[in-house]
Every structure is written in C-alpha cells, then in structure tokens.
Copies of this chain bind each other. A is one copy, B any other.
C-alpha cells in the first residue's frame, strides 16, 4: 500500500513488456539475446518498451533454464590482505566487463575449510570458482562442485599438488618463482650478504613452501649457506616479532628474504625502530608480491614481482575458455616473476 510496497510490486516481467509492445513473450527474450533472429525494428521497439518499464531479465530464471548463473565464486581467507584485495579488485573488474558477477566467500584465517561452506556455495551454481586458498585440494573441491568448473590458483608446479589431483581435470595457473628469486639472491650476494634468513608465510601455504624450497635450491646452486627459516603467517605483527627473536635470541642475519611484502614491512620496522639497525646498511630486506605499498617511501622495498595484470588476464582467459567449451582439455597458463629493485638491498 505504501510507497515501498508499490515499488516492490513494480518489478516488470517479460510478459508485461510483451503485452505493452504487442509481441510475444518469446520475442522479448530474443530481444535481449543479441544473436537471436529478430527483426531489427521489432527489437528496437521491444528494447524501448523494456527501458520504459525498467525491465531486466531475471538472472535466477535465466540461470534455471540455461544452466549458466553468470556468477564466479571466489574463496578467500582474508580480503584485507593487500595482495588478495588487489587480485579480487582486478578480477572483479575484468569479469564484470564480460558479464559475470563476483560471489565472495570467506574461509577462516587458518585456512580451515568448513564443508558446509562448499555445500552452501554450490547452491548458487557458480559458473566457475577461483580458490585463493591454496590448500583446498582439487579433489575436495571437485566432489562438491558438479556443474561449476573450478579453476585453481597455485604457485609453481608443486608435486604434492599434482599428485592429489591425479585423475581429476582442472585448469591451472602456474607461477614460476625461480626467476625472481634467482635475481634477488644474485643481488644480495653482490652486496655481500652471506647469512640469509627466510621469513616464512603460513605453514599450510603451498606458495610459501615453494618459495622456501626455491630459495634453498638457489642458495645451494650459488654455493651459499642454507637460510635460517623463521616461522611466519604473512602478517606484519608476526614478522615483526620473528625478526626481534632472530636478533635477540638467535644469531641475526645479513639479509632477510620475506615470503610476502607485508612480512617484509614488519621485518624492516623491527630492525629500524626497535633493534636500531639500518636497512639496507646493516641488514638487507627483500619482499615478495610488489604490492602498491612497496613503493611507499618509508619502505621503498626491493621485491619479487608477480605481474598482476598479466596474471588476471591469464585467469580470465582460462575462465572464459572453460565456460565457452566446458569439455576441452585442461589448460595450464604460466607466469614469470622478476625482481623490482628499490632501496632495501643497497
């Protein structure tokens, strides 16, 4: 009866548009489907009426019959993380341009996956799912998602992952971390660093494991000592404390290689503001990701970059390819990393 109720009742349907435009309801459907065969003048008339009635096809109804929801699910543990928020932002923009909307699902910070969440998510029938949480195994996800085509974001070709996925088809985005890490180690070595500490990310993170492994491998190849490994969780506070411990309880280090930029920030602040050490004079620091904050003057961080735009382009390419042709062979896209040199090494 009131204003709000009237507005609620006002949602126009294809039938109303059809009646108003003196056409069949099927014609209205065709008017909104560009490659359907319909007389141009008729289509124009319908669209005009539709605009006047403020009509939009109902996605739920459309989804029901086409099997396409135009939703892309994203599973993230922490939207606040600069790297992830960048990724969400870029992906949402790109997918929106292609007619897809982003459906956001949060998992606990400790990466524990509530099975009910997957069940719940599946109810929305996402056309594709992007999992940022790297420890959701393909088999687990695939068992819950039937029609949806999952896409995984993983880092480099980790064997345990490949093993778990055997027999299951899925698309992959690989990040070859070797390049960037090699450049970083070369730079550190060039500036005389000898005792390097690795400030880890989350223990369950495959990216973290792969970075640690690659760093060790690279140091060995160059005849350098194995790194001291500090436990971390990708956060500033933990990195700060770990760095303090390294120098107060442990034996210190020439250089700190952090698993991500935010961790590097924590290390730098601990060195400068609590330990009274100079970066890069006393200790050199290298990060990973190259988030926007890395170029802020207080940090001016030397870091291994993963090109975000290139990464998003590859991801969108995979998703669209899979949607267009769901039964084609699984694809793998590969990205490289490279070092961005700023002021925290020398």
Listed in ascending order, the chain A residues whose CB lies under 8 Å from chain B are: 2-5, 7-8, 10-11, 54, 56-61, 63-64, 69, 71, 78-80, 82, 85-86, 88-89, 92-93, 96, 99, 101-106, 117, 119-125, 142-144, 146-147, 167-169, 236, 240, 265-266, 268-270, 272-274, 292-293, 296-299, 326-327
A124–B71 alpha-carbon span in the complex (Å): 10
Q: Is the CB of A123 within 8 A of B59?
A: yes
Q: Is the CB of A298 within 8 A of B327?
A: no
User: With A8-B326, A298-B269, A298-B273 given, is the CB distance from A58 to B142 under 8 Å?
Assistant: no
Residues of B within 8 A of A292 (CB): 80, 236
Q: Which of B56, B236, B272, B274 contacts A123 (CB 8 A)?
A: B56
Q: Is the CB of A147 within 8 A of B54?
A: no
Pairs A-B, 8 closest by C-beta atoms: A79-B89, A269-B297, A298-B298, A102-B104, A273-B297, A11-B146, A85-B85, A60-B60
Q: Is the CB of B101 within 8 A of A101?
A: no
A144–B11 alpha-carbon span in the complex (Å): 10
A125–B39 alpha-carbon span in the complex (Å): 30
What's the nearest-Cβ distance from chain B to residue A131, in Å? 16
Of the listed residues A120, A168, A326, the one surrounded by the most CB atoms of chain B closer than 10 A to its CB is: A120
Of the listed residues A2, A272, A296, the one surrounded by the most CB atoms of chain B closer than 10 A to its CB is: A296
Q: Is the CB of B92 within 8 A of A106?
A: yes
Residues of B within 8 A of A57 (CB): 123
User: With A8-B146, A79-B79, A106-B89 given, is the CB distance from A59 to B124 under 8 Å?
Assistant: yes
Copies in the complex: 2
Nearest residue (CB) in B for A102 is B104
Q: Is the CB of B80 within 8 A of A69?
A: no
Given contacts A80-B86, A89-B106, A236-B293, 15 further A-B contacts (CB under 8 A): A4-B327, A60-B124, A61-B64, A79-B89, A79-B92, A80-B82, A96-B106, A101-B104, A102-B103, A102-B104, A265-B296, A265-B298, A266-B296, A273-B297, A273-B298
What's the nearest-Cβ distance from chain B to residue A275, in Å? 11
Nearest residue (CB) in B for A65 is B60
Q: Is the CB of A79 within 8 A of B69?
A: no
A222–B64 alpha-carbon span in the complex (Å): 63
Residues of B within 8 A of A96 (CB): 105-106, 117
Q: Is the CB of A11 within 8 A of B147?
A: yes
User: With A64-B61, A123-B59, A146-B7 given, is the CB distance from A85 to B92 under 8 Å?
Assistant: no
Residues of B within 8 A of A296 (CB): 236, 265-266, 269
A92–B141 alpha-carbon span in the complex (Å): 21
What's the nearest-Cβ distance from chain B to residue A16, in Å? 13
